[in-house]
Amino acid sequence: MTSRKTAIVLGGSSDIGRAAARAFAKAGYDVALAGRDVAALEPDAADLRARYDVVVGLYKFDVLDTASFEGFVNGLPALPDVVISIVGLLGVQENAESDLAHATTIMRSNYEGPSLILGLFAEKFLGRGTGTIVGVSSVAGDRGRASNYVYGSAKAGFSAFLSGLRARASRGGVHVVTVKPGFVRTRMTEGMKLIGPLTVDAPVVGDAILGAVENKTDVVYVSGKWRLVMLIIKTLPEAVFKKLRF
Amino acid sequence: MTLVSGWGRFPVVDSELLRPRSFEAVGEAVVAGSVARGNGRAYGDAAIGAVRTVAMTGFDRVRSFDPATGRIRLEAGVLLSDLIDTFGPRGFLPFVVPGTRFVSVGGAIAADVHGKNHHCEGGFGRYVDSILLRTGQGETIEASREENSDAFFATIGGMGLTGIILEATMRLRAVETGWIRERVIAASDLDAAMRALDDGDAATYSVAWIDCAAKGRDLGRSLIYLGEHAGPGELADGAAAFPVGKNPGLAVPVDLPAMTLNRTSIRAFNELYYRMGARRAGGSHVVSLYPYFFPLDAIADWNRIYGRRGFLQHQCVIPQAGARAVLGEILGRVAQRGDASFLAVLKKLGEGDGILSFPLPGYTLALDFPVKGDIMNFLDEVDRLVVAAGGRLYLAKDARQSRTTFEVGYPALQRFNAIRRSLDPAGNIRSKLSQRLFDEV
Ligand SMILES: Cc1cc2nc3c(=O)[nH]c(=O)nc-3n(C[C@H](O)[C@H](O)[C@H](O)COP(=O)(O)OP(=O)(O)OC[C@H]3O[C@@H](n4cnc5c(N)ncnc54)[C@H](O)[C@@H]3O)c2cc1C
């Protein structure tokens, strides 16, 4: 009997995290959810077990507590086949402009923590010679915007990290996926003005992540329209871009 | 404030829309004038809070499932589409599904929705064993047929007015496949249609699509669809036991000008529909559950077809005795006007389960009308015919009936109101619908 594949979701309590866990469990993976508040993950674990009859593990994981990372990875009962980092913090740009602590938290939550933990998993995966790493980054990292460049720059760093890691790890049999969801209707974006046709629901992102892992896609813009939008935005000359309001 | 409306996009009214993330937050969200909202598939003003609307679709977790019995405990925001996609392949389906799969469990309980099997298997509420209810008074109670049974039977079909359903335990139906063996019967007029439905009483599923543009001798001509769950041996070679449900592909991107729907286009559509169906009449064939149960779900946002001003659905039920005459009268008047829906739906209902449940043994007719001209007066007249025949109107579709029609149609109202008062003495739970039809003025 071949044992089932396993996926671990870091940031399992987020809407996208829940959706990703459901997509993988539905596809027959045993899943693990990792988050700051393990008790809060219990209902999601019960949901996955009831729906898909899979084994679900729960682990404590805090993306800001980088000192705990090695212990966390070594403490897992087995190395998963897939690791997915959904962790991120939008924060409040206006506050981050003057509050260094807030800016730091945004930067660490979106760049430092996710990169370090995925880097660690990458080493283990390379040692084994297989594995898939998924980082959920953002279209906001494609170009810094006046309205959210603290968050955007951290995501840009994360995207660059993933891209470099992919180049290196692919030679060792390890695949790295970068996901750029665009606008997603989630708790994080609640109350924000989202552009309808460019906005998707969390389950669409979950399915896209699963699809990218199975098809070995490198970079996914969840809604194809974003690839075009960001291509245009990326190629606008800085002189024009700085005059645009967004 | 936010502008909120039901599926019919009429009326559009101001109500603060809140999306709590925990059951505690649901409790805190309830202020004077709040009501729960599921997936907004009620046509009129049932899912709009007088002051505040509490959106429940975020609560979409399954708590437990027993594959031996099909018993499931879940949060009220789980959509039936999600249940079907998740548990269908495992051999389980909801016992009762309405004409769209995009309704929440909470909304299906609150409206005690009926499916094509109501005549023999009853409504959604019949398969609910218990609910976790957050009352207007601020208590959270478990209610079942044995425990807090008044609250239980008032909540089934109670249009959210007993409080907010947080969770429910219900039974799913074990099925061998996700396919339906369908038999189509062409009926040339109303008598034939009613007869075919009567003959179909033994069929698990039955429904008639009426061409409501047909007049005179053709009045009531329809296609009757009978259905049974198909066994694995009946499927086409190589067909999966469970078909894949596609997400609505084609969407109606903008509000079509009301012009698109006119006498000619409606008549042409109906003619074509009837002819195509009649050609399939006779033998039986196996179809996927999706087109069988949810034909309209194939087109996303189809409610925009009726234009910016929205539309009304009028769904009545008329007791068996005397139904022929009243249905004939209503269909005659509708055909005369020529602006009603593409298709009307006629089906038989059985006994209702909740105190305020819509179904009663008889025939139910559902029609769509764009909001324009003298439609309100026209429907007021139709309502009078309905209640004179001992019938009533479906609250999940209603946006405009009068207090009188409502009160005459629902004689158990006194009892419902007494239970409602005991659960919510301060009257915190109020929707636009309850303000229009129930609440003391
Ligand atoms: C295309 C189409 C076809 C349909 N076909 C049928 C049919 O065949 N048979 C049928 O019976 N109905 C049918 N309906 C109506 C639909 O099934 C009901 O209106 C159902 O209640 C909608 O569920 P919802 O989750 O969208 O609820 P909403 O529309 O959001 O709410 C409906 C009612 O339920 C209450 N409610 C919702 N969630 C909760 C909760 N958690 N706790 C307490 N109260 C709650 C609301 O207060 C409101 O009174 C159809 C609707 C459409 C659009």
Residue with tokens 């007869």: B195
**Phi, psi dihedral angles at B271 (to 5 degrees):** -60, -50
- Pick B19's closest partner by Cβ from A44, A52, A190: A190
- HSE of B297, CA atoms in CB hemisphere, 13 A: 19
Over 80: is that where the pLDDT of B284 sits?
yes
pLDDT of residue B44: 97
Question: Looking at B176, B206, B235, which one is the last position of a domain?
Answer: B176
Over 80: is that where the pLDDT of A192 sits?
no
Residue B20 near ligand 1, beta carbon < 6 Å:
no
Token code pair at residue B44: 């009129």
**Helices A149-169 and A100-107 meet at what angle, rounded to 10?**
30
> What is the B103 CA–ligand 1 centroid distance (Å)?
6
> What is the A225 CA–ligand 1 centroid distance (Å)?
33
Query: Is B254 found in the same domain as B316?
Result: yes
Test mutation, A26, A42, A44, A47, chain B, max B CBs within 10 A: A47
Q: Which domain holds residue B120?
A: 62-176
SS (H, E, C) chain B: CEEEECCCCCCEEEEEEECCCCHHHHHHHCCCCEEEECCCCCCCCCCCECCEEEECCCCCCEEEEECCCCEEEEECCCEHHHHHHHHCCCCEEECCCCCCCCCEHHHHHHCCCCCCCHHHHCCHHHHEEEEEEEECCCCEEEEECCCCHHHHHHHCCCCCCCEEEEEEEEEEEECCCCEEEEEEEEECCHHHHHHHHHHHHHCCEEEEEECCCCCHHHCCCEEEEEEEECCHHHCCCCCCCCCCCCCCCCECCCCCCHHHCCHHHHHHHHHHHHHHHHHHCCCEEEEEHHHHHCHHHHCECHHHHHCCCCEEEEEEEEECCCHHHHHHHHHHHHHHHCCCCCCEEEEEECCCCCCCCCCCCEEEEEEEEECCCCHHHHHHHHHHHHHHCCCEECCCCCCCCCHHHHHHHCCCHHHHHHHHHHHCCCCCECEHHHHHHCCCC
pLDDT of residue B399: 97
Cis-peptide, bond into residue B425, ω within 30° of zero: no
pLDDT of residue B253: 59
Longest dimension (CA), chain A: 61
Cα torsion A45, A46, A50, A54: sign: positive
The letter for the amino acid at A137 is S
**Percent residues over pLDDT 70 in chain A:** 98
> What is the B243 CA–ligand 1 centroid distance (Å)?
25
Residue B7 near ligand 1, beta carbon < 6 Å:
yes
- Pick B64's closest partner by Cβ from A46, A187, A190: A46
Query: Is B355 found in the same domain as B334?
Result: yes
Over 50: is that where the pLDDT of A61 sits?
yes
Residue B41 lies inside a defined structural domain of this protein: no
B289 close to B93: Cβ distance less than 8 angstroms? yes
Residue B38 near ligand 1, beta carbon < 6 Å:
yes
Query: Is B133 found in the same domain as B84?
Result: yes
Over 50: is that where the pLDDT of A133 sits?
yes
CB within 8 Å: A47 and B62:
yes
Over 60: is that where the pLDDT of B1 sits?
yes
Q: In terms of C-beta density within 10 A (0-12 exposed, 13-18 middle, 19 or more buried), how is residue B385 classed?
A: middle
CB within 8 Å: B61 and A53:
no
Residue B386 lies inside a defined structural domain of this protein: yes
Residue B219 lies inside a defined structural domain of this protein: yes
Token code pair at residue A123: 């080493």
Q: Give the closest residue to B83 by CA, choosing from B5, B19, B18, B170.
A: B170
Query: Is B314 found in the same domain as B188?
Result: yes
Mean pLDDT of A17-26: 96
Query: Is B134 found in the same domain as B221?
Result: no
Residue B356 near ligand 1, beta carbon < 6 Å:
no
Residue B164 lies inside a defined structural domain of this protein: yes
Question: Looking at B159, B176, B193, which one is the last position of a domain?
Answer: B176
For the ranges A84-93, A161-170, A227-236, B36-45, which has the lowest average pLDDT?
A: A227-236
**Neighbour tally for B198: CB within 10 Å:** 13
**Phi, psi dihedral angles at A40 (to 5 degrees):** -70, -20
Question: Looking at B176, B207, B232, which one is the last position of a domain?
Answer: B176
Mean pLDDT of B120-138: 97
Q: What is the DSSP string of chain A?
A: -PPPPEEEEETTTSHHHHHHHHHHHHTT-EEEEEES-HHHHHHHHHHHHHHH---EEEEE--TT-GGGHHHHHHHSSS--SEEEE-------HHHHHH-HHHHHHHHIIIIIHHHHHHHHHHHHHHHHT-EEEEEE--GGGTS--TTTHHHHHHHHHHHHHHHHHHHHHGGGTEEEEEEE--EEESTTTTTS---GGGEEEHHHHHHHHHHHHHHT-SEEESSHHHHHHHHHHHHS-HHHHTTS--
The letter for the amino acid at B405 is T
Query: Is B384 found in the same domain as B281?
Result: yes
Query: Is B297 found in the same domain as B265?
Result: yes
Each residue's pLDDT tens digit, B297-337: 877 777 877 778 888 999 999 999 989 999 999 999 999 98
Each residue's pLDDT tens digit, A104-126: 999 999 999 999 999 999 999 99
B91 close to B322: Cβ distance less than 8 angstroms? no
Find the closest chain B residue to A186 by CA distance: B58
pLDDT of residue B256: 58
Over 50: is that where the pLDDT of A1 sits?
no
In chain B, residues with a C-beta closer than 8 Å to the C-beta of A46 are 61-64
Residue B187 lies inside a defined structural domain of this protein: yes
CB within 8 Å: B86 and A51:
yes
Over 90: is that where the pLDDT of B227 sits?
yes
Q: What is the mean pLDDT of chain B?
A: 93
Residue B193 lies inside a defined structural domain of this protein: yes
Cα A155 from Cα A142, distance rounded (Å): 8
Mean pLDDT of B172-201: 96
pLDDT of residue A186: 78
Over 90: is that where the pLDDT of A195 sits?
no
Query: Is B156 found in the same domain as B141?
Result: yes
User: Which CATH number characterizes residue B135's domain?
Assistant: 3.30.465.10
Please report, for residues A24, B8, B156, B383, B396, the alpha-carbon distance to residue B392 in angstroms, rounded to integers and kept in the order given: 47, 20, 17, 8, 12
pTM of the model: 0.94
Nearest CA to ligand 1 atom 13: B98
A185 close to A202: Cβ distance less than 8 angstroms? yes
CB within 8 Å: B61 and A46:
yes
Question: Number of structural domains, chain B?
Answer: 2
Residue B89 lies inside a defined structural domain of this protein: yes
User: Which CATH number characterizes residue B331's domain?
Assistant: 3.30.70.2520
Cα torsion A240, A243, A246, B3: sign: negative
Over 80: is that where the pLDDT of B157 sits?
yes
pLDDT of residue B251: 63
Query: Is B285 found in the same domain as B272?
Result: yes
Residue B437 lies inside a defined structural domain of this protein: no
Query: Is B191 found in the same domain as B78?
Result: no
Query: Is B352 found in the same domain as B284?
Result: yes
pLDDT of residue B270: 73
Residue B74 near ligand 1, beta carbon < 6 Å:
no
> What is the A44 CA–ligand 1 centroid distance (Å)?
26
Each residue's pLDDT tens digit, B346-403: 999 999 999 999 999 999 999 999 898 899 999 999 999 999 999 999 999 999 999 9
Domains and CATH numbers, chain A: 6-242 (3.40.50.720)
More confidently predicted of B58 and A227? B58
A111 included as an active-site residue: no
Over 80: is that where the pLDDT of A60 sits?
yes
Question: What is the nearest CA distance from A143 to chain B, expressed in angstroms?
Answer: 30
Test mutation, A16, A24, A51, A207, chain B, max B CBs within 10 A: A51
Query: Is B111 found in the same domain as B217?
Result: no
Mean pLDDT of B16-45: 96
Each residue's pLDDT tens digit, B73-125: 999 999 999 999 999 999 999 999 999 999 999 999 999 999 999 999 999 99
pLDDT of residue B206: 97
Over 50: is that where the pLDDT of B275 sits?
yes
